């Protein structure tokens, strides 16, 4: 991920219009663009962040892709969790080095990989996925982005609505169509003081999940947020917001596991 560009590296070529062109570097290969051809040999050995020119003299910026670019740039079968939400999830759910994390379902593997990066080699991630084709696609994505299938990751094929074998985990991450159905099992698997997170596309799902947490009992500080992201143009005297933005992608709900079955609801100030 650092140093000179090498054969086998995935590189993104950025043009001045904001377009990005991926290239997996191979000696002797040529990338053909509307702006001209570019030999891979002209990239191999150059520093990460170098500016190169096509055969037509068009300048391109060559950079290894960031984690966010690799996650969003892949062909995917499942609905992804976007980078703007991934950052908020990691912080609000307080994923930390060495944590034991339980995830359901694996989906595209984006949140799985983000969790792995957060918990580090001393942590552990167990991810449940009900659909075999999604699990297979996620496994391929993880191997492609991380270079291998980490030893501290366990991918399980199973129905999260039927329960989890894991106990006393530090964090539970839910990306399910009906997360409320998993709430009783989360109560059994999540340690006292731990955090549960659920990603819901629409607010009616949020309501059912929160109601179920209160019904099950033993959860507190239930909070839902929505993250909106808008670019700005800052160039000379031009200072303006972008015409388009990444608005609603999902609601993020977080709650803490309590030591007993009481409910601590800040909004109504009651136990």
129 is in an annotated binding site: yes
- What is 58-82 written as a DSSP string? -EEEEEPPPHHHHHHTS--SSPPPP
Of 220, 203, 86, 70, residue with least CA distance to 145: 70
Count other Cβ atoms within 10 Å, centred on residue 170.
22
Q: What whole-number distance in Å separates Cα of residue 92 and Cα of residue 23?
A: 35
Q: Residue-wise over 203-239: b if at least 16 C-beta within 10 A, else e?
A: eebbebbbebbbebebbbebebeebeeeeeeeeeeee
Q: How many residues does the chain have?
A: 271
Of 255, 247, 249, residue with least CA distance to 231: 247
Q: What whole-number distance in Å separates Cα of residue 141 and Cα of residue 81?
A: 14
175 is in an annotated binding site: yes
> DSSP secondary-structure letter at 82?
P
Q: Which residues are annotated as a binding site for S-adenosyl-L-methionine?
A: 129, 159, 175
Q: Which residues are annotated as a binding site?
A: 129, 159, 175
């Amino acid at each position: 991920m650092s140093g000179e560009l090498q054969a086998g590296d995935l590189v993104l070529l950025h043009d001045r219009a904001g377009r990005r062109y991926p290239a997996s570097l191979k000696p002797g290969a040529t990338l053909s663009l509307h702006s001209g051809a570019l030999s891979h040999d002209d990239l191999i050995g150059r520093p990460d962040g170098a500016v190169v020119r096509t055969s037509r003299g068009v300048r391109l910026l060559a950079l290894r892709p960031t984690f966010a670019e690799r996650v969003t740039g892949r062909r995917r079968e499942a609905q992804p969790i976007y980078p703007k939400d991934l950052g908020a999830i990691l912080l609000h759910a307080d994923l930390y080095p060495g944590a034991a994390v339980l995830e359901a379902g694996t989906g595209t593997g984006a949140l799985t990989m983000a969790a792995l990066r957060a918990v580090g080699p001393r942590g552990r991630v167990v991810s449940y996925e009900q659909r075999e084709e999604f699990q297979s696609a996620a496994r391929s994505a993880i191997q492609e982005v991380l270079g291998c299938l980490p030893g501290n990751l366990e991918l399980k094929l199973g129905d999260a609505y039927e329960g989890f074998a894991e106990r006393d985990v530090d964090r539970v991450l839910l990306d399910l169509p009906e997360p409320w159905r998993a709430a009783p099992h989360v109560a059994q698997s999540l340690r006292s003081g731990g955090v549960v997170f659920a990603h819901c596309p629409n607010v009616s799902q949020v309501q059912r999940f929160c109601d179920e947490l209160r019904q099950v009992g033993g959860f507190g500080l239930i909070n839902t947020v929505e993250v909106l992201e808008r670019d700005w143009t800052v160039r000379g005297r031009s200072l303006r917001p972008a015409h388009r933005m990444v608005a609603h992608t999902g609601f993020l709900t977080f709650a803490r596991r309590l030591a007993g079955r009481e409910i601590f609801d800040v909004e109504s100030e009651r136990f």
